[in-house]
């Protein structure tokens, strides 16, 4: 298959698979942008809304609205910044951590069920492709 065709087919397949996996959500049913904020805080620790906006590549007012929604749902907490009295620091709550865990569990379960229906050879191909896709994503 020529490279441009492979690129197009792979883009479509990965995009569809990604959308289907992301459709599996935890109890809160968070939209992708809110769940992504929880993941950043889990990965990096407490962050300011400005830092989160930079990571998500959105404008700070949009992130402030996202953080406020997550705080209203009890998934994050806001506290005064230790050195900047004008800023707040956003942290995960126990409920936020539980939402991440549940969402990951549901997504992994959905995918595992489908993988069980594949042959051992197909599973081996996907295992090899996983490493290749990881390298592509990291390049």
pTM for the model stands at 0.88
> Residue 117: how many CA atoms within 13 Å on its side-chain side?
5
pLDDT tens by residue, 88-138 = 999 999 999 999 999 999 999 999 999 999 999 999 999 999 999 999 999
Where are the alpha helices (H) located in 45-119, listed in sequence order?
A: 49-56, 60-72, 94-116
């Amino acid at each position: 298959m020529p490279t441009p065709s492979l690129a197009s087919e792979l883009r479509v397949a990965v995009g569809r698979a990604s959308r289907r996996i992301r459709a599996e959500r935890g109890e809160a049913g968070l939209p992708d942008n809110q769940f992504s904020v929880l993941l950043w805080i889990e990965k990096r620790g407490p962050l300011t809304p400005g830092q989160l906006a930079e990571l998500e590549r959105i404008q700070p007012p949009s992130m402030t609205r996202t953080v406020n929604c997550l705080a209203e749902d009890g998934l994050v907490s806001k506290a005064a910044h230790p050195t900047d009295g004008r800023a707040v620091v956003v942290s995960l709550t126990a409920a936020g951590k539980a939402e991440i865990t549940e969402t990951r569990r549901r997504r992994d379960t959905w995918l595992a069920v489908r993988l069980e229906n594949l042959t051992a050879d197909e599973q081996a191909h996907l295992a090899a492709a996983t490493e290749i896709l990881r390298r592509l994503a990291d390049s």
